[in-house]
Amino acid sequence: MTTIALLGNPNSGKTSIFNILTGANQQVGNWPGVTVERKSGHYKKDKKVEIQDLPGTYSLSPYSLEEEVTRHYLLQTPPDVLLNIIDATNLERSLYLTLQLMDFGIPMVLALNMSDLTERDGKKIDIEKLSYSLGVPIIATSAIKNRGLNEAVNIATKTHDIAHIEYDNRLEGALAEIGKVIHSSNRFEQIKCFEGDTLTLSQLSHAQQFEIKDIVKITEKVMSDDCESIIVNERYDLIGQIVQLCVTDISNGKANLT
Ligand code: BGO
C-alpha cells in the first residue's frame, strides 16, 4: 500500500482533485479529538494507493486546528509521499507552503493546478526550471479539465527522493547546531526551535531550551534580524528568485480583461 497525502492552500483545487482521484471510494470522518473533517479514499485506478486528504492551510505554525492536525499527521504518521497542490495563478503564496512542507523530509511531488488559467493571466511558467529549482517533480494539472491528475499520481507512487532547500549559510549553521542539541535531523523541528515555537520547545529540557536560546541570539545578532523574520525573509527571497527564473510575462503589456 502506498499512501499519498494531498496538501495545499485553501482554494488550490484540492477537493476537486481528491474527488476525481477517489470517485466514490471515500471515507469521511473526523481527525482524532477535533472537529476537523478527515477524508481519505482509494485511488480509482489502483486500490493499493491510499489518498489522504489534509485540511487546506497556508502555514504549519500552528495557529489553527487545521494547521495543528496537518502538522501532527506529518510528524507522527508521515505518508509515503506528499502531493502538494499548488495554484499556478498564485505561485508565490503557494510556494510558501511548499517550502515549509519540504522541511518534513518526506518525498514530494507538485501538482501545478489551475494550469488552464495561467495563459489567460498572461503568464508562462517554465515547469522544467521550477522543478529543477525546487528539486521535486512537477506536473501541470487542471482539475476542471481533468488533465494531468493520473500522471501526478503515477509519478508520486514512484517518487522516493527527498529534496533539500538551502538558506543563508549563517542560518544553516544555526539549524545544524540546533539539530545537535535536540538530537534530530528533522529540519521542520530545527526550524520550529529556531523560531521559538512553543509547542516544539515545550517538549525539550530546560538545558536544551537554554542552548537553543543562545544559538538563536547569536544568529539574530549576525543576521541583524529577529528569528521569525529571518525564516520568513529567507523563504520569500528564495521564492522571489525562483519566480523570476521560472515565470515569463507573455501579456505583451495587454491588460487582463477576463
Ligand atoms: C468553484 N482550473 C480551474 N479553472 N478551476 C479549478 C481548478 C482548475 O484546475 N481546480 C479547481 N478549480 P476546490 P480547495 C467555483 O467552486 O477544489 C476551481 O479549497 C464556484 N463554485 O471548481 O474547492 C473549483 O479544496 C463558482 O471553484 O479547492 C472551485 O483546495 C464559480 O477552484 C475552486 C467559480 O476548488 C476551488 C468557481 C460555486
Give yes or no for a contact between 131 and 104, defined as CB atoms under 8 angstroms apart.
no
Number of compact structural domains in the chain: 2
The CATH number of whichever domain residue 185 belongs to comes to 1.10.287.1770
Nearest alpha carbon, ligand 1 atom 8: 114
Last residue of a domain, one of 133, 158, 183: 158
Query: How far, in Å, CA of 90 to CA of 104, rounded?
Result: 23
From first to last of its 258 residues, the chain has per-residue pLDDT tens of 999 999 999 999 999 999 999 997 889 999 988 989 999 999 999 999 999 999 999 998 878 899 999 999 999 999 999 999 999 999 999 999 999 999 999 999 999 999 999 988 889 999 999 999 999 999 999 999 999 999 999 999 999 999 989 999 999 999 999 999 999 999 999 999 999 999 899 999 999 999 999 999 999 999 999 999 999 999 999 999 999 999 998 887 664 444
Query: How far, in Å, CA of 60 to CA of 83, rounded?
Result: 16
The pLDDT value given to residue 25: 81
Determine, yes or no, domain membership for 23: yes
Q: Are residues 30 and 133 both part of a single domain?
A: yes
Q: Are residues 70 and 142 both part of a single domain?
A: yes
Please return the burial class of 59, using the count of CB atoms within 10 Å of its CB with bins 0-12, 13-18 and 19+: middle
Q: Are residues 38 and 150 both part of a single domain?
A: yes
Query: How far, in Å, CA of 170 to CA of 190, rounded?
Result: 14
Q: Are residues 64 and 182 both part of a single domain?
A: no
Distance from the CA of 95 to the center of ligand 1, in angstroms? 19
The pLDDT value given to residue 253: 66
Q: Are residues 152 and 203 both part of a single domain?
A: no
Pocket test for ligand 1, best of 54, 66, 144 (most atoms within 8 A of CB): 144
Determine, yes or no, domain membership for 253: no
Cell reading at 60 = 504549519
Nearest alpha carbon, ligand 1 atom 15: 11
Give the SS3 label for residue 9: coil
Give the SS3 label for residue 144: coil
Q: Which atom, in ligand 1's list, is nearest to the CA of 12?
A: 30
The CATH number of whichever domain residue 18 belongs to comes to 3.40.50.300
Range of the domain at 32: 2-158
Q: Are residues 41 and 148 both part of a single domain?
A: yes
